[in-house]
Chain A
């Protein structure tokens, strides 16, 4: 019998083999079916193995050393409860994306740019999670980044994609640099890069703070924390849709895994001020991410921005867990941590589903701009039903899964009065309000996304003639939609499955939920709070159907179709409908002036003039304009200046070298 980690590693090897096979076959016609078929099989096996591990309640971690990498170190891999949970997320996401790719991949114009990198990307994510020393971790991290970068550039001829790839590459390198420094600090002067050694070592408080900040930079930039998020809405939508789903739904989770692994697992007992930083960043990310999404008209970019919001929510959960953990409140820490992990799972489900839906819309209409879509609910009924489920779930509405994790998060927020530190006590309610704001804005944003894309009347010819997508894509979407509902009505199962992870990482667990009556969930105690998704679902179904039945039976069932009423004024052209921009107008006016310096410019021609009136909306991405552009300009300026060094005479080069040498010697003389 193979050990669990060996099984996972052989899955990775199989994925890498699939990648190699894809290079050989990439020009053949059946390559897509074969490769995606292989990745489905492998991912399902890996998911099942990891899930089995979790359900068995987390046996002892299983480790493996491969004689590759640095000669005196080898490459360490290890499977524990935390890793197995994230392996479930990654591989299940991979399986769903592969299933979707089976259908979606047929529309690919240049399959040889996607097929080899897709399994490699999956393998890279698996390897990051399994890595058990800093060296392998960084190497796999970089491998994952590069594979996804290649996928971002799959359609490199489309305008903007090359720039997206460039920004992604710069940010990914920056993130890896931060991680490298973090691990350097963790390993200390002794330089033992194995995770076991790092875990056992004592870390100086200064180093702990620095590592936290470096992890926030490194893992945060990959996950999309504001203000390091700028690459994400460029790069995620640029890739083919199933890869976008993987990047948004799964790769950001790998970054979160990295953060948890280092900050919760390797650093040891946290200090309370760490949670202040994480909570603040998480809350800002959640609110800003969803505000950006609200302003967006491109469907896939909107989804990418909403990923930023969800990452913010997850970081709020992690920050709460850090705060409780620092004060030894194990139960509350377990609650917050479980909420964060639950949201990790949920987000991977509904974000993949929504990206699949966006991909389906893109396939059948060729449009990503919402203001050129509309009315797709009539032409793509199945897709639109699945996407509706995703929209309800991501808007944190009962009885779907997004609500459960959000609810657990609020329950954790309500535990904050037990914290002794005043700063945290006062901060956490404000963070809770920010969470509520983000959740409500998410609902607004997805009313907009769904309403403009799928409802109303078609705004362009492609939207009018769209058709339903293939059955593989639909199957993938419906499986995810069913899971969204399942996790929403039976959250107790998920919470219990997460308990080994929470015991490992925060040293406590939520109460066992399986014994609760009627399958409800009870985070602390019965009298404090409880929620039962199943009963809510059943009640709503019974009430709605009995109301419909009684009215149809005893009152009236007559129905007549007619033109829309619209107070007697029927808009002649579909373009007169509410567009995405007009839907966002109230929220833009309330939040936009502060967050984006938004201004509406109305050019109204004088009476008698037949020119149309024009409304132009001015939005500024302040993070980009105030943060990144000055840096880019400074880099450009100094590069231009240093350029002169290329045209010196040999004597000058020599004097430069000489001057440097003398300066260094002087420094040494003064220093010591």
Chain B
């Protein structure tokens, strides 16, 4: 019992920490700090997955954790850092909506996902249940990051953090095969490369990575 409660406590702390870091992401208005927080997000995710691997005795999850650590906590943030540097947009402060309303919206989303998840999964394993609730919050918060930012780079970050939420859900649910994990990871990587290429194209075309210029180009006004 004691071990179970310790297992529960640690995974609770890690998953809760992930939600908290998603909020930190919402709070950032500088690109570099956003990237740093994203890297932290990935590290906590990797820890959480590794802990799940330990308590579920599922060695393949260690692979997932390693993928998360290497790709999301190191490669992608570093790459994005360099992109930001090369684009010269590291001084940009951007948020389409103010931080206060965004935070409130985020709290609303978390409350919503808790209510939903706890209501639809009454007889599931507490750990999985909680993981699912937190994962849904992380996904929704990632989406929120995407819709409240104008800059393409921060939209990428939002997208990646959303994917972190998916991984959290998958590991908590004890069922996702390794193949799927790896393919998800690679599709993310490919998506990242595609988006990266697009970033440079947008930049060449419009001298800015503010996606609202795309709307202008289409002849729409926000």
Contact = CB atoms under 8 A, between A and B. Distances in A.
Interface of A: 422-423, 426, 430, 594
Interface in B86-135: 100-101, 107, 111, 114-115, 118-119
Interface residues of B, number: 8
Contacts of B118: 422
B140 to A, nearest CB: 15
Contacts of B115: 422-423, 426
Contacts, number: 11
11 contacts: A422-B114, A422-B115, A422-B118, A422-B119, A423-B115, A426-B111, A426-B114, A426-B115, A430-B107, A594-B100, A594-B101
B218 to A, nearest CB: 30
Nearest to B115: A422
A671 B118 CA distance: 46
Contacts of A430: 107
A564 B162 CA distance: 59
Nearest to B118: A422
Contacts of B111: 426
A474 B107 CA distance: 50
Contacts of B114: 422, 426
A594 B104 CA distance: 13
Which residue, of B101, B107, B111, B114, has the highest number of chain A Cβ atoms within 10 A?
B111
A565 to B, nearest CB: 37
Nearest to A590: B100
Pairs of residues from A and B, 3 with the lowest C-beta to C-beta distance, nearest first: A422-B115, A426-B111, A422-B118
B104 to A, nearest CB: 10
Contacts of B107: 430
A423 B116 CA distance: 10
A423 B100 CA distance: 23
Contacts of A423: 115
A493 B115 CA distance: 41
Main secondary structure of the interface of A (DSSP, over half): helix
A262 B83 CA distance: 65
A430 B115 CA distance: 15
A426 B118 CA distance: 12
A594 B111 CA distance: 22
A422 to B, nearest CB: 5
Nearest to B112: A426
A425 to B, nearest CB: 9
B134 to A, nearest CB: 15
B149 to A, nearest CB: 20
Nearest to B100: A594
Given A423-B115, A426-B115, 9 more contacts: A422-B114, A422-B115, A422-B118, A422-B119, A426-B111, A426-B114, A430-B107, A594-B100, A594-B101
Contacts of B119: 422
Interface string B128-163: 000000000000000000000000000000000000
Contacts of B101: 594
A426 B115 CA distance: 9
A423 B115 CA distance: 7
Nearest to B111: A426
B28 to A, nearest CB: 20
A422 B112 CA distance: 10
Contacts of A426: 111, 114-115
A423 B111 CA distance: 9
A430 B118 CA distance: 19
A426 B117 CA distance: 14
Contacts of A594: 100-101
Nearest to B119: A422
Nearest to A593: B98
A490 B119 CA distance: 45
A385 B78 CA distance: 65
Nearest to A591: B100
A594 B97 CA distance: 12
A620 to B, nearest CB: 18
A287 to B, nearest CB: 13
Nearest to A429: B111
B148 to A, nearest CB: 16
A431 to B, nearest CB: 13
A422 B122 CA distance: 13
B111 to A, nearest CB: 5
A556 to B, nearest CB: 48
A416 to B, nearest CB: 14
A375 B115 CA distance: 54
B209 to A, nearest CB: 28
A599 to B, nearest CB: 15
Nearest to A425: B115
Contacts of B100: 594
B107 to A, nearest CB: 8
A430 B111 CA distance: 11
A179 B40 CA distance: 58
A594 B102 CA distance: 13
B108 to A, nearest CB: 9
B137 to A, nearest CB: 13
A423 B118 CA distance: 11
Which residue, of B101, B107, B115, B119, has the highest number of chain A Cβ atoms within 10 A?
B115
A430 B101 CA distance: 15
B139 to A, nearest CB: 19
A623 to B, nearest CB: 19
Nearest to A421: B115
A422 B100 CA distance: 25
B127 to A, nearest CB: 19
A430 B119 CA distance: 20
A284 to B, nearest CB: 14
B221 to A, nearest CB: 21
A594 B99 CA distance: 12
A291 to B, nearest CB: 14
A590 to B, nearest CB: 9
